[in-house]
Amino acid sequence: MDGRQGISRRWALLAGVGALTAACMPTGRGATSQATSQAGFRAADPAPRAVPDAGWDAWVEGFKARAAGRGVSPATLSSAFRGAGFLPEVIEKDRNQTEFKRSLEDYLAIAASPERVSLGQQKLNQHGSTLAAIEGRYGVESHVVAAVWGLESFFGTRRGNVPVFSALSTLAYEGRRGAFFESQLLAALRILENGDTTAGNMTGSWAGAMGHTQFIPTSYLEYAVDFTGDGRRDIWSEDPSDALASTAAYLSRSGWTRGLPWGAEVSLPAGFNTGLLGRGKGKSAAQWSALGVTAASGGPVPAGGSIISGGVPAFGVPAFLLTQNFNVILRYNNAENYAIGVGHLSDRLLGRGGIRASFGPDATGMTMADRQELQRRLTAAGFDTEGLDGVIGAKTKAAISGYQASIGLPVTGEPSLELLRRLR
Highest mean pLDDT among 23-32, 95-104, 143-152: 143-152
Q: Are 158 and 213 in contact (CB under 8 A)?
A: no
State the pLDDT at residue 309.
Answer: 86
- Reported in sequence order, the residue ranges of 176-317 that DSSP labels E, i.e. its strands, are 203-204, 263-267, 294-295, 306-309
What pLDDT, in 10s, does the model give residues 264-281? 999 999 889 999 999 999
Cβ neighbours, 10 Å, residue 168: 32
Q: Are 99 and 397 in contact (CB under 8 A)?
A: no
**pLDDT exceeds 50 at position 32:** no
- CA 385 to CA 394: how far, in whole Å? 9
What pLDDT, in 10s, does the model give residues 164-192? 999 999 999 998 889 999 999 999 999 99
pLDDT band at 29 (very low <50, low <70, confident <90, very high): low
What pLDDT, in 10s, does the model give residues 333-374? 999 999 999 999 999 999 999 999 988 888 899 999 999 999
State the pLDDT at residue 310.
Answer: 66
What pLDDT, in 10s, does the model give residues 112-131? 999 999 999 999 999 999 99
Q: What percent of the chain has pLDDT over 70?
A: 87
160: left (phi over 0), alpha (psi -120 to 50) or beta: left
State the pLDDT at residue 312.
Answer: 52
pTM over 0.85: yes
pLDDT band at 102 (very low <50, low <70, confident <90, very high): confident
Per-domain residue ranges for the chain?
A: 8-49+87-253, 263-349, 368-423
**pLDDT exceeds 50 at position 39:** no
Tell me the pLDDT of the chain averaged across its residues. 88
- CA 7 to CA 33: how far, in whole Å? 5
- CA 376 to CA 424: how far, in whole Å? 11
359: amino acid identity, one letter? F
Q: Residue range 32-38: average pLDDT? A: 43
**pLDDT exceeds 70 at position 140:** yes
Name 356's bridge partners: none
CA-based torsion, 90, 92, 94, 100: positive or negative: negative
